[in-house]
Chain A
């Protein structure tokens, strides 16, 4: 298995633009998580899905953030409009049962 695949690896965009981050979880994993990592706030859970259904989105910072999981093999995190304070590394992770998460390599987002 290729692991959790995220794209793009790096994204530089101008303030106000729409940004879409993509994630392909490991086949057979039924839970998917989006985290954001910054120096100031560490790793923050944004949203998590179980069997493609959003279970907890309380970590989504604002209405500018939205996430979808149209099927078991794909999820997106969208920021519209983006702001400089959204600059961070965004990680997607997947899991099955009571086992550890498998993380993707992350998307480093820079909003200028």
Chain B
């Protein structure tokens, strides 16, 4: 079963707008990661946030983590058409392997 669930399942915005995706999970974690997948391609790692961190930035990406609510959010600022992709959160428990959520399909309209 999937540990993480993304919300919304699909999101459509205009270029230049911000995109926010949310992820909820069920059990305690060591870290939470976000990945992007372009159509027909493999997943690309975007950012990792550890369980003792609350916020992390990488370029136009901002990730927050609330372990008390077992939730995370990914904010993409000033979106571009090239950001169109599926975005997945993934959680790592004690073991090394990641459990992926169902993903959010983001469409950025030019």
Q: Which of A's residues lie within 8 Å of B, judged by CB?
A: 4, 31, 33, 35, 42-43, 45, 48, 50, 55-56, 91, 93, 95, 98-106
Contact = CB atoms under 8 A, between A and B. Distances in A.
Contacts of B81: none
A102 B45 contact: yes
Contacts of A106: 41-42
- If over half of A's interface residues share one DSSP class (helix, strand or loop), that class is named, otherwise mixed; here it is strand
Contacts of B47: 100
A33 B45 contact: no
Interface in B22-52: 30-31, 33, 35, 41-48, 50
Contact of A31 (B44, B45, B96, B100): B96
Nearest to B92: A98
A103 B102 contact: no
A48 B98 CA distance: 10
A85 to B, nearest CB: 19
B100 A42 contact: yes
Interface residues of B, number: 25
B41 A100 contact: no
A58 to B, nearest CB: 10
A98 B30 contact: yes
B77 interface: no
B98 A45 contact: yes
Given A91-B42, A106-B42, A56 B100 contact: no
